[in-house]
Amino acid sequence: MRRISPVALATALALTALGAYAATPAYVSSAINDPGRKDQVQYDQGRQLAAVMEFAQVKPGQKVVELVPASGYWTRVFSRIVGDKGHVYTIWPDGYQQYVEKSYARWQGLVTTDYKNVSLIRGAASDLKLPEQADLVFTNQNYHDYHDKFMGPVDMQAFDKKVFDALKPGGLFVIIDNVAPAGSGFADTDTTHRVDPEAVKKEVEAAGFVFDASSDMLKNAGDDHTKVSYEAPMAGKNDLFVFRFKKPAK
- Look at residues 65, 132, 112 and name the one whose alpha carbon lies nearest to residue 93: 65
Tell me the mean pLDDT in the region 159-175.
Answer: 98
For the cut 50, the answer to whether the pLDDT of residue 172 exceeds it is yes
Question: Diameter of the chain by CA atoms?
Answer: 66
As a whole number, mean pLDDT of residues 6-15 equals: 41
Instruction: Give the mean pLDDT of the chain.
Output: 91
| pLDDT at residue 2 is higher than 60 | no
- Please check whether residue 173 is in contact with residue 163, taking contact to mean a CB–CB distance below 8 angstroms: yes
Report pLDDT digits (tens) over 75-121: 999 999 999 999 999 999 998 888 899 999 999 999 999 999 999 99
In whole angstroms, what is the distance from residue 70 CA to residue 138 CA? 13
- Is the pLDDT higher at 13 or at 181? 181
Q: How far is CA 37 from CA 24, 73, 158, 200, in A?
A: 18, 8, 35, 31
Burial of 120 by CB count in 10 Å (0-12 exposed, 13-18 middle, 19+ buried)?
Answer: middle
Give the C-alpha distances (Å, rounded to integers) separating 78 from 38, 43, 58, 143, 228: 16, 16, 8, 19, 29
What pLDDT does 7 receive?
A: 43
The pLDDT, as a whole number, for residue 50 is 97
Q: Model-level pTM?
A: 0.90
